[in-house]
Structure 1
Amino acid sequence: MKRSPLLLPSLLSVLMSTAAAAPLRGLWVDAFGSGFKNETEIKKLVQDARTLGLNALFAQVVRRADCYCLKSTFPVTEDINVPKGFDPLEVLIREAHSAGLQVHAWVIVHAMTSSEVALPRNPLHPINAHGLDEFADTWLTFNNAGEALVSKDYYFDLAHPGVVKFFADGLRSLAQNYALDGIMLDRIRYPDPVKISAPIWGYNPYSLSRYFRETGATRIPLPQDRKWMDWRRDQVSLLVKHLYLEVKNAKPSIWFSAATITYGPPPKTQEGFKTTRTYAEVLQNWPQWLKEGFLELNVMMNYKRQSKAPQDQWYAGWVDFAAKQAGVNASGIAWYLNDFAGIQAQTQKAVNTHMGWAGYSYRFPNLGNYTSNPTVTTEYEALKNLLPSGEAFDGAPLPSTSLKGQLKGKEVSGIAVELWKSGKLLARTVTDATGYFGFTQLPVGSVELRVLKVRKTLNVQERRVNDAGVY
């Protein structure tokens, strides 16, 4: 493989300039190939990461509802490449921390399983316990044609209470049982539409019954029904907030992040974001999550080809947009779509905008590798020498001054919950699929909680997740 001798010092100078500010210099490590499945792979990954000059690893700990770990409520992976009794996450944390690297558990949310692989043997795996044989209360999402499988994957429906609880319990257990530096949500959205013209997922029977009850609708909505789109988008946001509050309550020192969508042309303003494909097609509203404080670290999957217009302008535009948002933002760079010049240009843009970056990915480190050779090869060995070492990524902030609570009983979703202070409405939300509710970015001191017939005075303490209790 050829590389320009003039490119190396230029790229080195770009990446070394990030060290003083200690921004994110991350790497996604997926579980569909080698990387962290045994001790040998882990030691090589850590050594490669040190040579690359990274300070954080996003390891795909939860792939398709299965965990590459032994101490969580998620089903343990049945990957034959993981030795029996071996805990990949625990060993990765140990080795990475000894090398000064952070470890963030990368969790895929909407993927349940694939038709291309054998079904899990574990009867408690969601595809077995809550899949097609449990149609009356399945956790699968469907399209408006009644199909659960399009292409090759089965997906969770994010508006089902069982799904919400499954991920809340799972993430809480990861935070409690492992010395993680962060938890990253991925695919925290509805699946891509089969046709660009309409988002068509979300027609789970239980979720539809919720929609009817909470909105007063009486007919199955069309895919582009505005009220239906808004309701499903709200379910995604409520789920993110629920997961944030549970994770930060379990471990206040942990980063809560998401790998977010940047489809198509970028917006220029917050209002303009509502015209993007991200907002309209997959129903993800990450600027709102940042603004309301229940997303701390936003790592955009800003996967664009630098050599192909207008994708190069789109990449730069999304960086500029993210730089104006709250929280900590970073640009994910698709190494597999770019040559070294493209990687250099996109890294330079992130650095110039005072933003961190993450590379996708460990298995697919440069142009062409994604389809032609999905293994770590000598191409990777050449790439890793371009990236220098630097300082550690900063620690996570304490939680936003927050409040969480729960309604119990039947039909507890979509219930209005209000906080009042000094006789004035302070904030309003609704309960999610499980009856859970939460508020972020609150003032400290006395507030009154109002939900159904309950009126309760609470004392909100600063920079923590306050517990309002169960009603």
Structure 2
Amino acid sequence: MCLVVLGGCTVITVPAEPPGPVAAPPDRPVPADSGDPTPPFETGPTVPVTLDPVRPFDEIRALWVVRFTLTSEEAVMEMVERADAAGFNTLIVQVRGRADAFYASALEPRGESVQEPEPFDPLALVVREAHARGMAVHAWINTHLVWGPTAPPTSAAHLVNTHPDWLALPKALGRELLAVDPFDRSYLDRLVEHAAANEHAVEGIYSSPSHPEVQDRVHAVWLDVARRYDLDGLHFDYIRFPSADYDYSLGALERFRLWVRAALEPDRFAALDAAYARDLYAFVEGESELWDSFRREQVTTLVERIYRDVKALNPRLVVSAAVIADREVAYSDRFQDWVAWLRDGVLDIAVPMAYTPDASRFVDLVETARDAAGDRRRVWAGIGAYMNSPEGTLEMIDIARAENTGGVVLFSYDWVVGEGAGDPSNPLLERIGRARFGR
């Protein structure tokens, strides 16, 4: 995705509770990584937001390209050619889907669905072919969703297998699993079973957003990709908690205990600490608002760190994020304060996932995001084509234009040319190009 602004550098000022207390497991030391994170302070000063992208467009016409299209040279070539012919100018390609790599990585295992052996590099091929056509390429990196609700990864090197202690724990499993060593196979098996039984509520297995080594891994992936590929931008996804029912892992509970001390009166902390010896939920239930603030801060801190380091490498790289379009849900349930990220200059572009077949609801979500951003160029409207008829998708492109956003991003290329393609004589991708992009 490209930022659509010309010019130099501007400062933007703009499910159920467990039955009863959870006892501390006997003879289980607190993880060594449970350091004393920063206590809850106000957001720092605004920082410069670079408004000089590599490839500026008057209107972003983007496609999210899911990793399953990046499995062979033939599929990649067809995707770039068709997207270009249909008038799209930006490709957001999923290179980290589930803590795996659809690019050449020494940090994470190769995606299981990649069909061609090394040295085939899907991202390098997309960059080469798209840039030859004047298109922009953004590396789409899933942050905390690290596996689906299925059997664990086959790769022994995958972090789900090597670091089950890095995984987020739902509150519903707390009573059962806090006393279990994460490296005991039953721990991971129960996480997978829970995810499979709750597919309606959670997408799969998440990493723990407060875990320092998780943050380091994600940061390393971002910087590795930013250094080694000729990109136009990088794109956060799943930069959030799965829900307010996470993360109740032992490490997260202890990190909160250490974090919250600075915010409490000594007597209050001492009382909760005494209760904590009997019930590991004492702090999170006794100080629920601060618990929410802690979780929100863990997400924001990683965004800030990555943004500043990516910009230090290349100020013209655009940093964007797919965000929960409903601001209140994003803030209170997923702990994703994307409005503050825009305001404080640690995110260039928000892409609200305004996935709905309801045009009036789409208008509300897009207007809210645009107003929160303070600059229409910093919002691209995310359209869920898979939820709409062809006519509905075209209407939402029109709405995004009428609302004066910086552009549109369709989810997804894969659905549009697959299940949603429609009449082979007039496939949806080409129909959109002719009807709205002058192709």
1:213 corresponds to which of 217, 236, 258: 258
Counterpart residue number, 2:139: 105
**Equivalence for 1:228:** 291
Does the C-alpha gap of structure 1 residues 259 and 241 become closer, same or farther in structure 2, counting only changes over 3 Å? same
Question: Cα deviation per residue 1:282-341 (whole Å; 9 max; x = unaligned)?
Answer: 1111110000011001111110113xxxxx322101111122214611101011111122
Distance 1:37 1:126, change over 3 A: same
Structure holding more strand per residue? 1
Quote how far apart the aligned CAs of 1:281 are.
1.1
CA–CA distance in 1 between the matches of 2:392 and 2:420?
A: 20
CA contact (8 A) 1:363 1:375 kept: no
For residues 118 and 130 of structure 1, what CA distance do their matches in structure 2 show? 12
Relative to structure 1, the CA distance from residue 80 to residue 25 in structure 2 (aligned partners, 3 Å threshold; closer, same or farther) is: closer
Instruction: List alignment gaps of at least 5 residues for structure 1.
Output: 1-19, 132-137, 193-198, 264-272, 307-311, 392-471
Question: How far, CA to CA, are the matches of 2:96 and 2:425 in structure 1?
Answer: 28
User: Is 1:143 the equivalent of 2:170?
Assistant: yes
Deviates more, 1:83-92 or 1:176-185: 83-92
Secondary structure in structure 1 of the residue aligned to 2:409: strand
Contact preservation (8 Å) 1:262, 1:302: yes
Write out per-residue CA displacement over residues 77-103 of structure 1, whole angstroms, 9 at most, x where no aligned residue. 233523332111111100110011111
State the 1:177 CA deviation. 0.4
- Tell me how far apart the structure 1 counterparts of residues 425 and 211 of structure 2 sit (CA, whole Å): 44
Whole-Å separation in 2 of the counterparts to 1:82 and 1:374: 26
**1:277 is aligned with what amino acid?**
V
Give 1:347's aligned residue: 397
**What aligned pairs does 1:71-220 form with structure 2 within 5 A after superposition?**
71=105, 73-123=107-157, 125-131=158-164, 138-146=165-173, 148-149=191-192, 150-152=194-196, 153-192=204-243, 199-216=244-261, 218=273, 219=276, 220=281
Residue-by-residue CA offset, 1:153-199 (whole Å, 9 max, x unaligned): 2110110000000011110010000001111000100003xxxxxx1
* Residue correspondence of structure 1 range 67-466 to structure 2 within 5 A: 67-71=101-105, 73-123=107-157, 125-131=158-164, 138-146=165-173, 148-149=191-192, 150-152=194-196, 153-192=204-243, 199-216=244-261, 218=273, 219=276, 220=281, 221-222=284-285, 225-263=288-326, 273=327, 276-306=328-358, 312-324=359-371, 325-326=373-374, 328-355=378-405, 356-365=407-416, 373=419, 378=424, 381-388=427-434
- 2:34 equivalent in structure 1: none
CA contact 1:27–1:361 (8 Å) conserved in 2: yes
| 2:72 matched residue in structure 1 | 38
Distance 1:382 1:343, change over 3 A: closer
State the shift of 1:145 in Å. 2.6
Label 1:205 to 1:374 Cα distance change in 2 as closer, same or farther (>3 A): farther
Amino acid at match of 1:58: I
Q: Which has the higher helix share?
A: 2
Aligned-residue offset at 1:279: 1.4
What TM-score, normalized to structure 2?
0.71
Cα drift, residue 223 of structure 1: 10
Contact residue 258 and residue 298 of structure 1 kept, 8 A = yes
Contact 2:95 2:141 in 1 (8 A): yes
The unaligned stretches of length 5 or more in structure 2 are 1-55, 175-190, 197-203, 262-268
Write the letter of the residue equivalent to 2:87.
G
Whole-angstrom CA distance in 2 between matches of 1:141 and 1:380: 45
The one-letter code matched in structure 2 to 1:202 is: D
Deviations 1:225-249 (A, max 9, x none): 2111111011111111111112112
Deviation track 1:4-24 (CA, whole Å, cap 9, x = no partner) reads xxxxxxxxxxxxxxxx97121
AA aligned to 2:290 is: K
Secondary structure of the residue that 1:145 maps to in structure 2?
helix
Taking structure 1 as the reference length, the TM-score comes to 0.67
Distance 2:286 2:318 in 1: 35
State the shift of 1:277 in Å: 1.6
Residue 189 to residue 102, structure 1, CA distance change in 2 (3 Å): same
Compute the displacement of 1:141 (Å): 0.5
RMSD: 2.5
